Structure 1
Amino acid sequence: MGTWREWTEADAARWVAAPDGEDDKYRRGVLGVMTGSIEYPGAAVLGVEAAHRTGVGMVRYSGPRSVRSVVLARRPETVTMPGRVQAWLLGSGIDAGHRPFILSGDLQHALASGVPVVLDAGGLDLVGTHTAPTVITPHARELTGLLLSRDIECTLEEVEADPAAWAERAAAELQVAVLLKGAVTHVCDPDGARFTVTASTHWLASAGTGDVLGGILGALVATHHDRFEAEPWAITRLAATAAWVHSEAARIASEAWEGGPVLALDVADHVPVVIGRLLRG
């Protein structure tokens, strides 16, 4: 196994940028989001919220009508009509074992678009069905299930005991970037990039924070959509940056409550503070 390096604030600062006078919402980046379900509408709300707060040009949401309603109630800036997309966030809050036929078709259509993709939760099983730059964002249990589905023998206990080795194994076997979530998040790719992000607060161990991370990452990927043709490896650095921003937003949110617990929306609410600090250098 190669050497892992902790991703720093200086590293993250290289992967955020403020819009300039030449930018519009399309040049800034359009993130397509296909997340959430009738059973888990909150995943869509959290991911969309986080994406907006990261500074993407537009979020274009596709999902069940009832979920669209709650997304729009929270973030009326969201566009729900089909159209141009420069990156996709797929799978959060979706049960891969009970995907409706129409949703399965929509997911495959998104994957066939050729734009960079973030696959989370109920979209992880779709890895390998497309060739665009891709990052998967499992936790240890999800990674174990994904590897077993590909006839790679492992147990949850093994993955939890050596997350670095199993993240590397997944990247090599699946030929995508891997962001393995945990108290120490491991981000790697088949080309040998290996980064860690150590959580600044363990209050992140709560429901919905992974959906926020997906929204941050999706927004960063969409914002940098024009770099992927020349720099396909950029998705790994963006994944590490998203994990760092996520961790730092949680720390700031907790400090606002004297070190107390934070909820997923608290983390999303503090993302602009982190982005602003990175932009100031």
Structure 2
Amino acid sequence: MATLAAAWARSGGGADTVEGMTETYTPFGPADAARWIAVPKVDDDKYSRGVLGVVTGSDQYPGAAVLGVEAALHTGVGMLRYLGPSRAADFVLHRRPEAVTSPGRVQAWLLGSGIDPATLDGVTANRFAEAAESGVPLVLDAGALSLREQTSAPVVVTPHFRELARATGKTVDEIASDPARAAAEVAEQWGATVLLKGHHTFVAGPDGSRFVASSAPSWLATAGAGDALGGILGALVATHADQVAQDPAALPALAATAAVVHGLAASRASGGGPLTVLGLVAAVPGCIAELVAGAGSVSA
């Protein structure tokens, strides 16, 4: 099986910078990501390891909730509270009985995957409002992107081109013509970290941080891949919640780490051919183990 370093090299990750039309992004690879994996200490418990609150999925798209929860748990958190719609909760508990479905303290929120904001149900809307007022870091996807306007908490948004186009009033072609510039402009306008999904995933922070992750194979262009990415990122933010509270500038590095882990797990699941999102998720722990052991070093 190829090492993470080999997968990174094949992706073109050895380039010094990636140039957009007006922005320069620094490649963020396995060696960088390894520094942002929280390894449990012997005296940690389920609370000190990070508690992630999740409101994702809907009656129309319950699978989005399953994929995000699955990805978060495979990335590593002490506890996950799933507080979305009841139909999605049934699917989540059937797949992951360790998920907790009662409210309580959380250290980060993952919101919006698999949710159409035009058909938001009352339960989900109330949970969104509670999360926005909680003050803890928020990972916003799909149907929750507008929550950035309702919170003072640290925020990272994870749109694809179409979602960013809808949220900004631009066309998809305008976003696609220079995604690096689009991510940077939106980060500055919204005061949020932006992870713009694509073959090259551009991460821009309002502090001026600019990273690009390019470890994903083209086979990753499949339904549900973004749901898994949200789960990975939510787990990383929850396990670094204290650090984010002290320095929100940690969010761009965590977002780039999520993109690297997501892409490398996809490469491992693919093996050069088609993949499923659950196959990608199953590959996440092995990728993290390599990162932690140092096998993700570019020089390995």
| TM-score (ref. length: structure 2) | 0.89
Q: How does 1:146-165 map to 2 (within 5 A)?
A: 146-148=167-169, 154-165=170-181
Match of 2:281 among 252, 268, 274: 268
Residue 40 of structure 1 deviates from its aligned partner by: 0.1
For residues 27 and 287 of structure 2, what CA distance do their matches in structure 1 show?
18
Partners of 1:194 and 1:37 in 2: how far apart? 33
Match of 2:137 in 1: 116
1:103 correspondence with 2:124 = yes
Aligned residues: CA RMSD? 0.9
Shift of 1:156: 1.1
Number of aligned residue pairs: give it. 273
Which of 213, 216, 220 is equivalent to 1:200?
A: 216
Whether 1:172 and 2:188 are equivalent positions in the alignment is yes
CA deviations on 1:225-272 (whole Å, 9 max, x unpaired) are 1112322111110000000000000000111xxx22001111111100
Structure 2: runs of 5 or more not aligned: 1-21, 295-300
What is the CA distance between 1:8 and its match in structure 2? 1.2
Give yes or no for the alignment of 1:33 onto 2:49.
Answer: no
Residue among 41, 45, 63 paired with 1:24:
45
1:37-73 CA distance string (max 9 Å, x none): 0100000000000000001111100112221111011
In 2, the alpha carbon distance for the partners of 1:175 and 1:17 equals 26
Structure 1 position 127, deviation (Å): 1.5
What is the CA–CA distance in structure 2 between the aligned matches of 1:89 and 1:174, rounded to whole Å? Answer: 18
2:263 alignment partner AA: S
1:278 maps to 2:299: no
Q: Is the 8 A contact 1:17 1:279 kept in 2?
A: no
Q: Is the 8 A contact 1:187 1:195 kept in 2?
A: yes
Q: Which runs of 4+ in 1 moved over 4 A?
A: none
Contact 2:82 2:99 in 1 (8 A): yes
CA distance in 1: counterparts of 2:207 and 2:88, whole angstroms = 38
Q: Percent identity?
A: 54
Alignment of 1:49-198 (within 5 A): 49-148=70-169, 154-198=170-214
Aligned to 2:6: none
Distance 2:245 2:102 in 1: 27
1:86-130 Cα shifts (integer Å, max 9, x gaps):
000000001101102332122111110000000000111221210
Deviation at 1:199, TM superposition (A): 3.7
- What is the one-letter code of the residue matched to 1:138? P
Give the residue type in structure 2 aligned to 1:159: I
Structure 1 CA distance for aligned equivalents of residues 73 and 124 of structure 2: 24
C-alpha distance 98-70 of structure 1, shift in aligned 2 (>3 A): same
> What displacement does 1:2 show?
4.1
CA–CA separation in structure 1 for the residues paired with 2:193 and 2:111: 15
Partner of 2:11: none
What is residue 252 of structure 2 aligned with on the other side?
Answer: 236
**How far apart, CA to CA, are the structure 2 residues paired with 1:279 and 1:14?**
8
8 A Cα contact 1:185 1:199, kept in partner: no
Mapped contact 1:43–1:93 kept (Cα < 8 A): yes
State the match for 1:151 in structure 2.
Answer: none
d(CA) in 1 for partners of 2:215, 2:289? 20
Please say if residues 45 and 70 of structure 1, whose CA atoms lie closer than 8 Å, have aligned partners that are also in contact: yes
In the alignment, the residues of structure 2 paired with residue 157 and residue 76 of structure 1 have an alpha-carbon distance, to the nearest angstrom, of: 43
The one-letter amino acid of 2:132's match is L
TM-score by length of 1: 0.95
